[in-house]
A and B are shown apart, each in its own frame.
Chain A
Amino acid sequence: MRPARRRAARLLRWYPRAWRVRYGEEFTELLIADLAERPRSAARTADVIRGGLVARLADAGLSGCPPRSPELARMQVRACLASLACCVAVFLGVGGAIWSQLVIGWQWSAPDTAATTVATFVMTGTVLVLGLVALLAVLPVAWTVASRLARGQTRALAVPSALFLAGLAVMIVGSRHFGNGWPGTGGHPWARTGLVPGGVAAFAWASTLSVSSFWAHPAALAAFPAAELTWMVLSPLALACLVAGAATAVRRAELPPALLRFEGRLGAAACVTMAVFLGGGCAWLAGRTAPPGSPFRPGAIDVAGLAVMALALGVACQAARQGRRGLS
């Protein structure tokens, strides 16, 4: 391969696969001609990198104008929904860790400030709503995918469906296993003192065990039981498989327009609910008067968590907005 072609191929890697399949060959020719005229150009490299990132955002349904063709528009809406699902998963993964910390704390003692009490109520309510929204969103898509698989129409859906189910199974079994032993799950006397059943709190805690400040303290982490450490590594991978499977299935499934509109409305509802949850988290953080050692005392990991959640919410809102534009 000639040096210019090799350099062009390297630059092309900034673009998503679908874009490379469509424009890769002609874009490479243009780059080779440009490289021949201007062998060294930082501006060209920066422009190609920016173009690649913009194309990746468009591929994820986060930028670009809605296509005129109804088929392309539906594809874009599916990409928006897949991105929205990923954002909700990230939000729930991090938010679940914060929420479980609070509701598990409530198993031991009542919150020590009004801000923490209100925040825990708000976050618990929004977790319930988000769970319901997620269920309403997943069920019709799962039904559509399952019926297509049963008819043998869409082989492209088999791998993502298997990935989703495997991730889901690992998360449920692992979280059940590591949640056992916490108050409320093993006949603990304080089982009914919390805001939510102890088993639910422990399940949320175990499923988000990897969201931990212990990663910054390797010496303390080394003292953890091997099984728990393994779960801390395995659970985010399982969650990633679950989300990747769901997102890929949504992108590949030919969902009917009515279902896309329904999912779009659920996406908007999820954004509003996440914003309320984030508000609850911020209220808890703002009222940080809990004494050291209190289970309700926020730490640096919680501040970082809220920042990640704000970012996930911002991206989710952008995906929902793009999806709405594609549906109109």
Chain B
Amino acid sequence: MPRDKALDGFGRYVGPATLILASLADGPKHGYALTKDIESFAGVRVAPGTLYEALARLQTQGLIEPVESHDRRRPYRLTETGAATLQAQLAAQRRVADVGLRRLAQGWGLT
């Protein structure tokens, strides 16, 4: 599967999945820690049902994996495939942001 196609089947969960991958990029986290971290860097609170649906899909796709834990709150970490997918996903988003900002600057004088 090409890297930039990896989140294709996620449908409405692409956004939460990207946020989760970005959050896990600096180390393993459990569900509640993910919610708080995403809230702090993205300003959105991912609801529990959405978070776990995205987590389940990411795990099925091999983009994240659970970490051994004796705690009830199981942490997850990024896999190598997950890191590559996140890189491709963010690069695609950056291309969109660059084009949008350039056109805003050209057409509306906004910089």
Contact = CB atoms under 8 A, between A and B. Distances in A.
Interface of A: 19, 22-23, 25-31, 33-34, 43-44, 47-52, 54-55, 58, 64-69, 72
A25 B52 contact: no
Contacts of B47: 43-44, 47-48
Nearest to A63: B11
Contact of B57 (A28, A29, A65, A69): A65
A47 B50 contact: yes
Given A26-B30, A29-B32, A67-B60, A47 B48 contact: yes
Given A48-B49, A50-B49, A26 B60 contact: no
B9 A23 contact: no
A66 B8 CA distance: 11
A67 B56 contact: no
Contacts of A58: 56
Contact of B61 (A26, A28, A65): A65
A26 B74 contact: yes
A13 to B, nearest CB: 13
The 9 A-B residue pairs whose C-beta atoms are closest, nearest first, are A51-B49, A65-B9, A47-B47, A30-B31, A47-B49, A48-B49, A67-B60, A68-B62, A26-B74
Interface of B: 1, 8-10, 30-32, 35, 47-53, 55-57, 60-62, 72-74
Main secondary structure of the interface of A (DSSP, over half): helix
Given A65-B57, A65-B61, A68-B60, A51 B74 contact: no
Contacts of B74: 25-26
A26 B72 contact: yes
22 contacts: A23-B55, A25-B74, A26-B30, A26-B73, A28-B72, A29-B72, A30-B30, A30-B32, A30-B35, A30-B52, A44-B48, A47-B48, A47-B50, A48-B48, A49-B49, A51-B53, A55-B53, A55-B56, A64-B9, A66-B9, A68-B61, A68-B62
Given A68-B60, A72-B60, A51 B31 contact: no
B9 to A, nearest CB: 3
